Amino acid sequence: MTRLEKNTEFIKAEAKRLGFLSCGISKAEFLEEEAPRLEQWLKENRHGEMRYMENHFDKRLDPTKLVEGAKSVVSLLYNYYPSATQNLESYNISKYAYGRDYHFVIKDKLKEFMQCIHDEIGEVGGRVFVDSAPVLDKAWAAKSGLGWIGKNTNLLSKKTGSFFFIAELIIDLELECDTPVTDHCGTCTACIDACPTDAIYEPYKVDGSKCISYYTIELKNEIPKSEQGKFEDWMFGCDICQDVCPWNRFSKPHNEPLFNPHPDLLHMTKSDWEELTKETFGQIFKKSAVKRTKFSGLKRNIDFLKN
């Protein structure tokens, strides 16, 4: 076995040991296909108030601008599909935010991963990423053969659906690359048909500024009155286009204790949420990604749903 093969095998085995669903590798190079798409999307203002999307355009497309001498992008998937979901008589929170904030949970695993690489292979330069820098994670995961970009623009996998986080190691170590998989959306339009705000305006194209996740998390101003009655009880994020996707019938519950929700979260009713206090918010969402919208933001969303 060559050194290249040995290093690749070690990295994939280590990813499995650390609990990642899957691991794929691609060459660290300029994303030529994505460049015009991203430019057009920004030009059409599909990012709304997410001005940060306009920053670091070159870095988003070229990993060697993030890590000098980068040779490989190691893409990783980490399952967050819960074993139990919220009360049906409740306002909804996106499943990814049920437990501990994923940034911290996965970042710790990635740091351990890098340490293991150093211990086994030697001095390898690189950085770890989990939704925390200008990295087009879905594009890299698709390039690495972990799935295809579906009509709802999420990464879809035949084996595991789409309820997973995507993370990367960008490293200056040459590895064996994987090949992309084919698209398996076929003629299905379930996600397009189900989106209540018409955010999926064409197959494979999403207007971020119309997405319920954008309105309930990213938007700092008031939610437009024109969207009243369209949110189907989503108060933080939205899983509609994933819930209806046929490939998610293959989702299996995660086994990450840190992603388990606060016990009260699953039993809260609409009236409980409407009476939410700052203290209860702090308890239920102590280390949760929901803190991003703050107590005032969540109250705004609940008030919008209530009216």
State the average pLDDT over residues 208-221.
Answer: 94
Listed in sequence order, the DSSP H helices in 67-196 are 102-121, 137-143, 190-194
At residue 175, the pLDDT reads 98
Rounded to the nearest integer, the mean pLDDT of the chain is 93
State the average pLDDT over residues 131-156.
Answer: 93
Between strands 72-79 and 22-27, the pairing is antiparallel
Lowest mean pLDDT among 8-17, 24-33, 41-50: 41-50
Bridge partner residues of 128 (DSSP) = 169
Q: Is 131 a catalytic residue?
A: yes
At residue 47, the pLDDT reads 60
Listed in sequence order, the DSSP H helices in 54-136 are 57-61, 102-121
What confidence tier does 49 reach under pLDDT thresholds 50, 70, 90? low
Would you list the domain boundaries of the chain?
A: 1-301
CA–CA gap between residue 125 and residue 122 (Å, rounded): 10
CA–CA gap between residue 185 and residue 163 (Å, rounded): 16
Q: What is the pTM of this model?
A: 0.94
Q: Which of 131, 233, 243, 272 is catalytic?
A: 131
Each residue of 159-179: pLDDT tens digit?
A: 999 999 999 999 999 999 999
CA–CA gap between residue 142 and residue 8 (Å, rounded): 18
206: number of CA atoms within 13 Å, CB side? 20
State the average pLDDT over residues 271-275.
Answer: 97
State the average pLDDT over residues 223-250.
Answer: 97
State the average pLDDT over residues 123-151.
Answer: 93
Q: Which of 102, 95, 81, 99 is nearest to 234 (CA)?
A: 95
Take residue 109 and report the two structure tokens written for it. 């695993």
- 54: pLDDT strictly greater than 90: no
Q: Report residue 270: phi and psi, to 5°.
A: -60, -45
Phi-psi domain of 231 (left: phi exceeds 0; alpha: psi -120 through 50; beta: other): alpha
Each residue of 289-299: pLDDT tens digit?
A: 999 999 999 99
Number of Cβ within 10 Å of residue 158's Cβ equals: 12
At residue 50, the pLDDT reads 62
Bridge partner residues of 126 (DSSP) = 171
Helix 102-121, helix 3-17: angle, nearest 10 = 150
At 251, is the secondary structure helix, strand, or coil? Answer: coil
- 56: pLDDT strictly greater than 90: no
Is the distance from CB of 132 to CB of 147 less than 8 angstroms? no
Listed in sequence order, the DSSP H helices in the chain are 3-17, 34-43, 57-61, 102-121, 137-143, 190-194, 212-213, 240-243, 270-274, 278-284, 294-306
At residue 42, the pLDDT reads 66
Phi-psi domain of 161 (left: phi exceeds 0; alpha: psi -120 through 50; beta: other): left
At residue 40, the pLDDT reads 79
